[in-house]
Amino acid sequence: MVVELISVGTELLLGNIVNTNTQYLAEKCALLGLSMYHQVTVGDNRERLSETFETALKRSDLVILTGGLGPTEDDLTKEVCAQVMGIPLVEDDHTKERIKAYFKNSIDKEIPDNNWKQALVPQGAAVLDNDNGTAPGLIMEKDGKAAILLPGPPNELKPLFQDRVFPYLKKLQPEVIRSQMVKICGHGESQVEDKLLDLIDGQSNPTIATYAKTAEVHLRVTAKASDEDEAKGLLKPVVKEIKSRFGDDVYTTKEEETIEMAVVRLLKKYELTVTTAESCTGGLIAGRLVNVPGASQVFREGFITYSNKSKRKLLDVSKSTLKKYGAVSEQTAREMAIGGVFAADADVCIAVTGIAGPDAEGEKPVGLVYMACYTKDKVQVEEYHFKGNREKIREQSVVKALDLLRRSILKHYHS
């Protein structure tokens, strides 16, 4: 089955809003085994939207449109799609009551007249209740073609797709499609592909797809089968082989688990507490850790020691070390990690100091970063040379620091 995505909104064309919906929906469609050859963005213009939708219907079995379902005059998606498919709009009593209930529980209880426009739906369409807004989703079917209309705001679109649209699309597929993610830290995409070239070249079912992320590589292994058990049976040996080739470089095989979640999981497993001592990352590592639910059980506190004075005052980094080797050095990173453990009375400390740019510091280049991890009375220090702008260097530093923390825990506590 061929699916096409149409994102509706002039604000997307102008770059006022980042279109995260397309990435989300493309991944979900791939997970379902749907073929996608076109993704289109069109502004809030009736004629252009009509032409775009007509073209999509000719070349695809299913069209998913996002945005343009609001109450204002420039919200045209529903009206245009109904017109192109030759389906009249009718008032839906159920949606009307939901709009009333939505405003009854809101601060502004008076319902603007234009909101009643959202109670008009294409005749015979499946109405998808939106628990996070007033615009319902819609599924329209005619002459073997289908159009799925979803609201633009991601906090409305994602739950609506997951709860209502995903099950609908799953039923359209004659085969069971099952995927498993393998997430790797410590290798670039080309290195990962090179190690798996024999598997990738010989693949038919399951298939392996690589995705480059910041300082990570994600592998999606996908199998098609007649039932769930058969699909699992096809996936298992391939995932096992990938894990055997990369060992501890694999930090999870769960799609929803991030590297910080993997770190918090290990800290809880071994009943460890952690603190962070950050210079160039300015609290980003601590922020990633505390984003994880339950991090309060393991995270003590974080130190942001951007200046030499703060490194001395909060982490007890010696004045002579800073003078002789500088703030960005193996020696300073080591003392930051040791000082962080004792200052927070924690079991583990990850420390980072580096030059994010834009200017170098003497002979030390932009992108030079030292990381140290104190674990079980031992300190491991790593030197990195990152490429990119200031933001990119800091992002890479955060991921590498979390990975160093993860590996240190495994090294000293995993039996």
Instruction: Please choose, from the candidates 328, 335, 329, 319, the residue with its C-alpha nearest in 3D space to the C-alpha of residue 379.
Output: 335
Average pLDDT (38-44) is: 97
Q: Could you tell me which residue, 8 or 203, shows the higher pLDDT?
A: 8
Pairing of strands 348-354, 368-375: antiparallel
Mean pLDDT of the chain: 94
Say whether pLDDT at 170 is over 90.
Answer: no
What six digits make up the tokens of 406? 């993860």
Distance CA 352, CA 401 (A): 7
* Greatest mean pLDDT range, 6-10, 132-136, 166-170: 6-10
Question: Are the C-beta atoms of 32 and 169 separated by less than 8 Å?
Answer: yes
* Tens of pLDDT, residues 71-106: 988 899 999 999 999 999 999 999 999 888 888 877
Say whether pLDDT at 108 is over 80.
Answer: no
Element of type H or E holding 65: strand 62-66
Say whether pLDDT at 10 is over 90.
Answer: yes
Distance CA 369, CA 378 (A): 20
Q: Could you tell me which residue, 287 or 35, shows the higher pLDDT?
A: 287
**Helical packing angle, 330-344 and 308-315, nearest 10°:** 40
Q: What is the pLDDT of residue 391?
A: 96
Instruction: Please choose, from the candidates 372, 414, 413, 381, the residue with its C-alpha nearest in 3D space to the C-alpha of residue 275.
Output: 372
Of the chain, the percentage scoring pLDDT greater than 90 comes to: 85
pLDDT band at 107 (very low <50, low <70, confident <90, very high): low
Instruction: Please choose, from the candidates 19, 129, 136, the residue with its C-alpha nearest in 3D space to the C-alpha of residue 77.
Output: 136
Overall residue count recorded for the chain in this entry: 415
Q: What is the pLDDT of residue 168?
A: 94
Tell me 161's DSSP state: I
Q: Where in the chain is the domain with CATH 3.90.950.20?
A: 259-413
Average pLDDT (254-267) is: 97
At the second CATH level, the architecture of 2-172 is 3-Layer(aba) Sandwich (3.40)
- pTM of the shown model: 0.76
Pairing of strands 145-150, 62-66: parallel
Q: What is the pLDDT of residue 109?
A: 67
Question: What's at 25, amino acid-wise?
Answer: L
Q: What is the pLDDT of residue 323?
A: 97
Domain 259-413 top-level CATH class: alpha beta
Q: What is the pLDDT of residue 226?
A: 86
Q: Could you tell me which residue, 110 or 74, shows the higher pLDDT?
A: 74
Q: What is the pLDDT of residue 273?
A: 98
Q: Where in the chain is the domain with CATH 3.40.980.10?
A: 2-172
Q: Where in the chain is the domain with CATH 3.30.70.2860?
A: 176-252
Q: What Cα–Cα distance (Å) separates residue 284 from each residue in 13, 73, 114, 304?
A: 31, 42, 44, 10
* CATH number of the 176-252 domain: 3.30.70.2860
